[in-house]
Amino acid sequence: MAEADAFPAALAVTVTQLLPALGSSRAHPPFAVYQNGEALLIPTRTYYDRERLLACTRLAGDAGVIALCLGTRHHDGHLREACARQLLLQERAWTVPFVVHLCGGYVLEMVEIIGAALPAWNTQALARYLRDNRAYVATLERRSISYWSCYYRHQYPVWDDYPGRRTMAALRALQELTPR
């Protein structure tokens, strides 16, 4: 399954064991990023059965966290948000691509939740990921501008007041952190 390419090779066994429990899902074309030198292909959307996915998110260890990651790509925005909230409680470096992708999204509530969590969440792994994916972060920033212009300009007439802009600025600041 394509979802296996969304995670580092070190998780291959766990992902392979988890995917049958999730059932089948068609997936939209993936977006490509790098993490710790590994190319990852993360689906833009998944269509797992909601109850099966939720049951898998309650599994212990990495399997439950992998299910949360895939849940952040789910077609149901409410489920995406619930999974993102739980994922922000994790400190595994390999969860970073799933959270960061939501920062360039159109669901402002999720952008705000993530933006508020960024200063204290997985800082070193996040900074490295952002440095390794500069072009991708630029794409997220362009998306954020487009969503503001199309959907939120009336609510936030000044770009600097838009929560998506503040979240992207926080990502850019983290991107410039000096590695330890």
Distance CA 91, CA 125 (A): 9
In terms of Cβ atoms closer than 10 Å to its own Cβ (0-12, 13-18, 19+), residue 137 is buried
Q: Is the pLDDT of residue 49 over 90?
A: yes
Mean pLDDT taken over the chain: 93
What is the b/e burial string over 45-65, where b = at least 16 CB atoms within 10 angstroms of the residue's CB? ebbbeeeebeebbebeebbbb
State the DSSP code for 46. Answer: B
Report the predicted TM-score, pTM, of the whole model to 2 decimal places.
0.93
pLDDT of residue 109: 92
pLDDT of residue 156: 96
109-142 pLDDT, tens digit per residue, is 999 999 999 888 888 999 999 999 999 999 999 9
- Interval 25-36 mean pLDDT: 86
